Copies of this chain bind each other. A is one copy, B any other.
Amino acid sequence: MTAGSPDTTPDGALPRPRGGRMPRRERRVQLLESALEVFVAQGYHAAAMDDIAERAGVSKPVLYQHFPGKLDLYLALLDASCDTIIDGCREALASTTANKDRVAATMKVFYSYVASEEGAFRLVFESDLTSEPDVRERVDRVTIECASMIADVIRTDTGLPDEASELLAVSLVGMAQVSARFWLAGGGGISQDDAAALIAGLAWRGIRGYPMTDDH
Contacts and interface: CB of A to CB of B under 8 A. Distances in A.
Contact of A183 (B128, B167, B189, B197): B167
Contacts of A202: 168, 171, 206-207, 209-210
Contacts of A177: 174, 178
Give the interface SS of chain A, mostly helix, strand, loop or mixed: helix
Interface stretch (A2-10, A41-49, A65-73): A41-49
A41 to B, nearest CB: 9
A179 to B, nearest CB: 4
Given A174-B174, A194-B216, A209-B205, A167 B199 contact: yes
A42 B167 contact: no
Interface in A161-216: 163-164, 166-168, 170-179, 182-183, 185-186, 189-190, 194-195, 197-199, 201-210, 216
A197 B167 CA distance: 11
A143 interface: yes
A201 B40 CA distance: 36
Contacts of A203: 171, 206
